[in-house]
């Protein structure tokens, strides 16, 4: 969708890059992208956005217009602008595949390369991965709450802009949603697109039944009637009239939608009324300010709902509208490619040094027991989550299609303990720091105290 | 930035449009875009996003690829696809200019035109206006809290995608921010771009002071040193060494940045240390998890801060990450252009019927006293906030440049009572419903009860 996003970067990435060009030209570094702290209400996270992130890294170029703008700013040297002109990312990227379940402090992307290159990609890498991961993680909870019923993304009108509109559609589907109302997301990602009708349609006719009739005349096989524009009970009665009329003509009314009010009572009423009139096949859709908590409560209270349309709260991850995702340097080389681990000491923000891997310890039936964050070379027993995805200027990750990622999420989730997947979760999955990593952090704390 | 966004639309807009094509071809309608309920912690809202919204409306076309995709979905008739092929929005749009202060229930955009056209633009109109308005409203509070100190947008890495990254930069500047770290936002909107350095830069050198020296050698006039990578007090001492060294060479160290820890104590310490060493001109920047509440507390506690970098909480409007913004039909015509007011009765979601205007009642010195939402033809005394901005397929709004809108916001805000602008605000601005509108709503309630 987006054209040239090369300058969608924090200025300091470029000023630091100019610094690196003069002082660190031949130095390499490793950066980890990870979530520092789990957001509220989240007991696990679902990785998403890698495909777009790699696409960005691969295509990052600075064109003459970009360079002209930078030059005008009077901040950058000719030498640096000449460097940018020929910029290509040539480092190595390791990442967990999209759909991987992960936890705080676990690197999900690890970049090793010339420090200048690894630095420049920071801003947009964080931007891309955090949005989709945040949404997939939220959406996964909504899917769980719906207990097998279908959930659809209705969030476009309230997402933070057009890019989010698209990416939310993708991330929600990846996490188990059944489709989206967003036509462009459907087109770009091959996601099923769904829709009902709005109150305005009903209100544009003199009588509610006329609007129902008009709609069903045009879409006799795809009619879902919105029944709460005026009095909902009468709306259901009109839907029954319409359903019986369609039945006579050999069609089945697909469903009705309840967009608010006492959804538990109204859905029970609607179910009874349809069942009694031989319209047992008419489905009941609910929408309006839904999220995983509300869906859980509705179902616990016995609401008779077949499908949920979930918008704003999922599409903005409203209870936790950002991920505390960071991109931190963990080692830096001298001019001879000897890497030295490094770490940050800022209060409450201490990082883990060295080139790391995440090892998932697996028990019987592939059940996940715990994760260990360790040093790459420790070779701890377990599934190594980080895979090489980019090397020598080329993407080597074969991005699975979205359907496959969607199945992977489902399969992956089942491997974790049931309590961890509850909407109200008090469990915490065990993530350990390896002995080797602990020792390195301890040793470095001594050494680095003398860096000032 | 974005190419063809025509299909960034909820499917139901298009299915309803097909319905309108067959049943309401010659009917006109009016829709209001408004915020149903004030978000938490907000006592006023700042309108933003109109320029982009009009751009979208003006350019909305469906190209052959769009039509091919729609055709493949087997939902749409040939006649409707032919209609879309020639689609152009030809209605009339009234709106409050960007930078207008407004409140719940006040229409900020009013669209009158063929019902089919007015319906199709719903999704993206809401998406565009709600993001920028939400951010401008949040950012305005941050500016207030900073009491004249400069605030900068540092949010790119955590905004919801790339479109939000850009639009946040614009909306924050419009609301009074002094600049952004986002280079592309700077380029596109002419906003000042700023930056300091990251921990990774400091950590890539063996000694902290080396990193300071390297940076200032390259940017002797623009150096802001990040002093909390290791021990902050020692970091400040190193900044002083560097500041004195620069001074000898005839340069002034611009500032230091504190990114966490006890900012009140550290900023006081830094201020004292700089003042005592003849570096009184060195500014102190603070960043790290800031918002209007935190800034207010920091300043109340006597923190010595000259500028704030505000990222995630502003860029995601984290305490209120969406606006309850809706687009509701308020009147519909018969085939002879006779308009009939209409309204929605859904519990808790009753709307105001008819073609409306917002009248701002103004007292001495242009102080705002109260607003009255009334019928257009009532001609209530007061500033009429909605202006005609689009007519006969053309934008007639002369979009002011961003600097001018920024000044307007500042001037507009001053016209409201001081308590309303407090970060912790208990006041509520008075928004009345006019007698004419009340009567119309009452009368319609009777009439419409028979629509089922």
* The pLDDT of residue A3: 63
Inter-CA distances, A287 with A152, A263, A306, A404, B37, Å: 10, 9, 11, 28, 18
* The pLDDT of residue A1: 36
Measured between beta carbons, which residues in chain A are less than 8 angstroms from residue B183? 7-11, 14, 69-70
Task: Specify whether the CB–CB gap between A51 and A398 falls below 8 A.
Answer: no
B248 and B217 share one domain: yes
Do the domain assignments include residue A168?
Answer: no
- Nearest CB to A75: which of B7, B22, B222? B222
Give the span between the Cα atoms of B200 and A47, in whole angstroms.
24
Structure-block tokens of residue A448: 């680095």
* The pLDDT of residue A272: 98
Do the domain assignments include residue A76?
Answer: yes
Give the span between the Cα atoms of A343 and B243, in whole angstroms.
26
Give the span between the Cα atoms of A103 and B173, in whole angstroms.
35
Greatest alpha-carbon span in chain B: 86
Whether B269 has its CB under 8 Å from any CB of chain A: the answer is no
User: Which residues 187-216 of A have a C-beta within 8 angstroms of B?
Assistant: 187, 193-201, 203-209, 214-215
Do the domain assignments include residue B197?
Answer: yes
Per-residue H/E/C for B44-63 = CEECCCHHHHHHHHHHCCCC
- B327: distance to nearest CA of chain A, Å? 9
B123 and B154 share one domain: no
pLDDT over 60 at A2, yes or no:
no
Task: Specify whether the CB–CB gap between A65 and A370 falls below 8 A.
Answer: no
B418 and B300 share one domain: no
Give the span between the Cα atoms of A177 and A191, in whole angstroms.
10
- The pLDDT-based confidence of A336 (bands split at 50, 70, 90) is confident
B242 and B265 share one domain: yes
Q: Which of A346, A351, A353, A446 is the best mutation test for B, with the most CBs of B within 10 A?
A: A346
B104 and B174 share one domain: no
Give the span between the Cα atoms of A295 and A152, in whole angstroms.
13
Task: Specify whether the CB–CB gap between B318 and B10 falls below 8 A.
Answer: no
Q: pLDDT below 50 — which residues of chain B?
A: 1-2
Query: Which residue stretches of B150-291 are H helix?
Result: 161-174, 183-189, 199-203, 208-218, 232-248, 263-276
Whether B325 has its CB under 8 Å from any CB of chain A: the answer is yes
A274 and A370 share one domain: no
pTM of the model: 0.97
Do the domain assignments include residue A173?
Answer: no
* The pLDDT of residue B435: 97
* The pLDDT of residue A350: 83
Task: Specify whether the CB–CB gap between A73 and B193 falls below 8 A.
Answer: yes
Give the span between the Cα atoms of B98 and B398, in whole angstroms.
11
* Cβ contact B229–A328 (<8 Å): no
* Cβ contact A16–B201 (<8 Å): yes
How do residues A266-304 score in pLDDT, each as one tens digit?
A: 999 999 999 999 999 999 999 999 999 999 999 999 999
> Per-residue pLDDT averaged across A331-359, rounded?
89
Last residue of a domain, one of B282, B315, B348: B315
Return the CATH number at A432.
3.20.140.10
* Cβ contact A15–B214 (<8 Å): no
User: Which residues 229-268 of A have a C-beta within 8 angstroms of B?
Assistant: 229-232, 234-235, 237-238, 259-261
Do the domain assignments include residue A175?
Answer: no
Do the domain assignments include residue A246?
Answer: yes
B292 and B348 share one domain: no
The overall average pLDDT reported for chain A is 95
For CA atoms A36, A164, B176, A318, the dihedral sign is negative
B333 and B406 share one domain: yes
A131 and A232 share one domain: no
* The pLDDT of residue A160: 98
A432 and A353 share one domain: yes
Which residue in chain B is spatially nearest to A325 when comparing CA positions?
Answer: B158
Name A27's Cβ contacts closer than 8 Å, sequence gap at least 6. Answer: A20, A114, A115, A332, A333, A334, A335, B204
B127 and B18 share one domain: yes
* The pLDDT of residue B3: 63
Q: Which residue from A11, A19, A8, A5 is spatially nearest to A116, judged by alpha carbons?
A: A19
- Give this complex's ipTM: 0.96
Structure-block tokens of residue B50: 């109109």
Last residue of a domain, one of B315, B344, B366: B315
Task: Specify whether the CB–CB gap between A169 and A189 falls below 8 A.
Answer: yes
Structure-block tokens of residue A100: 């991987």
Domain count, chain B: 2
* The pLDDT of residue B419: 94
* Cβ contact A261–B317 (<8 Å): no
Task: Specify whether the CB–CB gap between A120 and A111 falls below 8 A.
Answer: no
Q: Which residue from B383, B378, B322, B325 is spatially nearest to B354, judged by alpha carbons?
A: B378
* The pLDDT of residue B2: 44
A131 and A219 share one domain: no
SS3 A361: strand
Do the domain assignments include residue B4?
Answer: no
Do the domain assignments include residue A313?
Answer: no
The residues facing A92 across adjacent strands are A112
Last residue of a domain, one of A262, A287, A312: A287
Whether B425 has its CB under 8 Å from any CB of chain A: the answer is no
Return the CATH number at B166.
3.20.20.70
Structure-block tokens of residue A243: 């359903």
State the residue range of the domain holding B156: 146-315
* Cβ contact B158–A183 (<8 Å): no
Measured between beta carbons, which residues in chain B are less than 8 angstroms from residue A127? 156-159, 161-162, 165
Give the span between the Cα atoms of A313 and A288, in whole angstroms.
10
């Amino acid at each position: 969708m987006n054209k040239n996003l090369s300058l969608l970067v924090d200025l300091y990435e470029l000023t630091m890059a100019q610094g690196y060009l003069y002082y660190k030209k031949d130095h390499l570094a490793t950066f980890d992208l990870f979530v520092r702290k789990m957001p509220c209400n989240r007991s696990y996270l679902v990785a998403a956005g890698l495909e777009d992130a790699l696409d960005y890294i691969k295509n990052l170029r600075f064109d003459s217009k970009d360079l002209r703008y930078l030059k005008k700013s009077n901040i950058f040297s000719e030498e640096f602008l000449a460097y940018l002109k020929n910029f290509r990312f040539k480092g190595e990227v390791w990442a967990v595949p999209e759909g991987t379940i992960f936890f705080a402090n676990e690197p999900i992307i690890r970049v090793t390369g010339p420090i200048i290159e690894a630095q420049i990609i920071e801003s947009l890498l964080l931007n891309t991965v955090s949005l989709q991961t945040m949404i997939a993680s939220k959406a996964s909870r909504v899917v769980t709450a719906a207990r097998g019923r279908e959930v659809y993304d209705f969030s476009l009108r309230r997402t933070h802009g057009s890019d989010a509109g698209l990416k939310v559609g993708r991330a929600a589907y990846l996490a188990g949603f059944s489709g989206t109302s967003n036509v462009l997301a459907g087109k770009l990602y091959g996601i099923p697109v769904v829709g009902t009708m709005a109150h305005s349609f009903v209100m544009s006719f003199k009588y509610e039944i006329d609007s129902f009739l008009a709609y069903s005349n045009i879409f006799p096989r795809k009619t879902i009637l919105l029944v709460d524009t005026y009095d909902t009970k009468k709306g259901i009665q009109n839907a029954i009239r319409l359903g019986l009329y369609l039945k006579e003509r050999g069609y089945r009314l697909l469903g009705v939608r309840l967009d608010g009010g006492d959804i538990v009572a109204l859905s029970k009423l609607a179910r009874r009324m349809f069942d009694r009139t031989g319209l047992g096949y008419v489905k009941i859709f609910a929408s309006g300010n839904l999220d995983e908590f509300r869906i859980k409560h509705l179902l616990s209270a016995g609401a008779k709902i077949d499908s949920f349309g979930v918008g704003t709260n999922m599409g903005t991850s409203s209870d936790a509208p950002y991920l505390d995702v960071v991109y931190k340097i963990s080692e830096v080389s001298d001019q001879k490619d000897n890497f030295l681990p490094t770490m940050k000491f800022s209060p409450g923000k201490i990082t883990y040094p060295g080139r790391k891997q995440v090892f998932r310890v697996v028990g019987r039936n592939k059940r996940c027991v715990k994760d260990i964050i360790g040093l790459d070379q420790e070779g701890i027993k377990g599934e190594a989550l980080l895979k090489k995805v980019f090397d020598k200027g080329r993407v080597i990750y074969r991005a699975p299609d979205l359907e496959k990622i969607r199945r992977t999420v489902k399969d992956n989730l089942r491997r974790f303990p049931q309590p961890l997947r509850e909407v109200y979760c008090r469990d915490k999955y065990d993530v350990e720091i390896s002995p080797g990593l602990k020792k390195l952090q301890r040793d470095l704390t001594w050494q680095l105290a003398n860096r000032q």
